[in-house]
Amino acid sequence: MKEFALIFRLKDIADFKPTPEQMQERMNWLAGIASQNKLADKGNTLLPFEGSAKTVKPNRVVTDGAYTEIKEFISGYIVVKAESLDEAVEIAQANPIFDQVGGSVEVREVLRRD
């Protein structure tokens, strides 16, 4: 089984503060993944978005913020176990965040160096 990072992106900082009901929906989604033994890492570490990131570019250019080129920010991530990219995408598509606030989930295979 492979591992895939699901990287959650939101468009607006207001979306980062879900209601208790929205949070429960997200926790239920996560619990469903865990109950199938497909949760490899629940991303306990938040990825802050204000004043705590820099982007390093070619020629030693450093800019403020994580994503100066795009309008979204990363609000968190989890790592899931799946047989294929398609299965990982299906897991991501079930995320209630789409019905709640929009945003997107980037799905990337995790390559381990063992």
- Domains in the chain, number: 1
- Compute the CA torsion angle 52, 66, 3, 22 (nearest 10 deg): 80
Tens place of pLDDT per residue across the chain (114 aa): 888 888 887 776 665 677 888 888 888 998 999 999 998 876 654 454 455 556 666 776 766 655 545 566 777 888 999 998 889 988 988 888 767 776 778 888 887 766
Q: CATH code at 69?
A: 3.30.70.1060
This prediction's pTM: 0.71
User: Where do the H-state alpha helices sit in 36-105?
Assistant: 85-93, 97-100
- The DSSP bridge partners found for residue 73 are 10
End-to-end CA distance of the chain: 15
Domain that holds residue 11: 2-110
- For residue 8, what pLDDT is reported? 81
Report the pLDDT value the prediction gives residue 68, as an integer from 0 to 100: 46
Helix (H) or strand (E) holding 45: none
